[in-house]
Structure 1
Amino acid sequence: MTSLRNWDGSQEPFTLTRDELAALRRISEEPAYLPDDTPGLKGLCDKGLALAYGYDPGNLDRPDVPPDDGRSFYFPMPTAPVLDQLRRQALAKAREVIQNAEMLTAFFDTLPRQAGSENGIEFMDAGGEATQMIIRAMENAQHDIKTAQPAYRRPDTMDQSASFLAEPLSRGVALFDIYPPNTQNQPHMNKYVQTVTAYGPHAQVRRLLTPFPRIVIVDKMCIIQDLREGSDDSRVAWKVTHEGMVAFILMIFDWMWDMAGPWHGDTPSGQGQQTFTNDRTRAILRGMAAHKSLSVIAKEMRVSTKTLGNELAALDAKLGFPPGRNDFPRGMWWVTSSEQDIHP
């Protein structure tokens, strides 16, 4: 637990709840008028991590009077100890995600492997039967499709996936795809990502560094399969419709999604490795993670602060962040990104 110094100079223990973390991420991406009863906002203000204005401080044409609709203009106040704590929370969550994913596959390993359904869990062959069931479910999806795909997928498979996803995505069905980081070096995967994300912000793809099982959730039906490296269960799958078990698997998927980094279909770099960052932006991010100001980093790199700002703005655009101050969402992405391991 990290201690933060309050405005009066005292120190209090600091933690962030899930609601507070979500609220801080939201206002950091774009300060805005929000209902005062939005979960997490009051806690952020009490901890000195957000300020509530009666007006937009960036718009001096507005009168300095609070609105009468129960909203205030919320602005983030992130600090270095906050980013330290968020890094620790991210790493702890990564460990928790790995443990829960392992627990999930361990549970299915205890189930009898025979055809038929029992209590909303049905054993099946992971070949054609499961594939056709997934395709039918996706084509008839009403709300959202969530998939975690840890294994290599052939070019023809990805072309077929993009084809049968076209109709539900055109109807506005949300897509949340997770893939391992090594897929970024596969041209057919980049083509798939560019194709599905072109339908709009309701179609998103991310990459996750930690190992995970194959999960396909369509509305309230789930297919789960252990395709992790070293697994002997590549031909084994389970269809899950039990509401409690689907909810548990969905919770694990959402944790995995929170830990994953965005992917828009990268363009290969000069070194043949597809990344969001280059040597300069990684140097800037490492300096900021070490609590250095942009002026100090600029001096060390012998460039202007304007140059650093332009580099960060270009990175934000690649990550899909809106124009403006993105220190918090960019920092959250960096502390969980595998690109930290790229040197220099």
Structure 2
Amino acid sequence: MSRLARQASEDDDGGLSRDALSLYSRMLRGELTQRRDEPGLEELLDVGLVVPNIFEDDLYLIADPFQVWRYQSNREREVLAASLRRLRSIETLFSQLPVRIAQGDSGVSYLASKDEANGEIIKALSKASRSIRTAHPVPRPHSAMQKSLPRDIDLLERGLKLATIYGEEARGREVESEWAREVTRRGAEVRTLQGRFRRIVLIDESLAIIGDHTRTQPAKAGWKVEHDGLIAFISELYEDQWKRAEPWLGGDEQAPSAGVTTPMTRKILIELARGRKLAAIAHELGVSTRTLTNHLTPLYERLGLEPGDQFGLGYWYATFDERRASAAG
């Protein structure tokens, strides 16, 4: 390493010593230097401002300072370029690795895979003492449901409260239907929710497993949360999803309706009665406006309203006793 590089690594200002400057000034005035132990000479040689005379031993000459400056500058640029290349290669390397994200004592831990998340859930369930609340927007594999049923029955027999939310389409799948029938018979509460909602596993109001929403890691990654403030927020989010969901006892039947409405139309009518537009409701439920219109068409006909009279539907629902059915869920 050159003296300039050593100085840079030691946070030096890169300047010459007083001895080196004094010697260089004398050599500029024509003084010959023959002693290798001359104070400051080694420094000037290292920088390149002074070079040995190839024709006479123990005699040193001043080099062209412009050439020295250009050489040293180019060399340092090459060093910097090499360092930048190494830095980019390091960033590329670690961006490709499924590394654990360190969180220290923040109460949040990164889970790099589905297996790791399931391991944390099983470990927490073995110690649970009060309640288990889960939300599953994506269908669970048949094998997972088979393993889950005896475990969930055991939790209920231990006296824990169990609440679960599935997507509305679960009502048409036998695996989820059988699970729902068995656990609700033993006191669990199961509901289904139309549209998009968040995957949450909340245990004893002290630990939560949620999906990874940073989208920088594999889709099956997630987070283990034990921070009190974040647990309170996740619990509130779960409660909001629970209130919007419809009770389900298992089987492929739809939730009971008080009369002319269905679970889906009641969701729409509640929002229409609040003055919201159909497009905004569709976006919130994760479906198209056309899908909502298809749900409402039978109501227009049955109530004698003009197709598309959203105000009329909202007014009817706001003043009709059937609205109590949705509030009761």
- Relative to the length of structure 1, the TM-score reads 0.46
Q: Which has the higher contact order (CA 8 A, sep 6+)?
A: 1
- Relative to the length of structure 2, the TM-score reads 0.48
Structure of larger gyration radius: 2
Q: Which has the higher helix share?
A: 2
Q: Which has the higher strand share?
A: 1
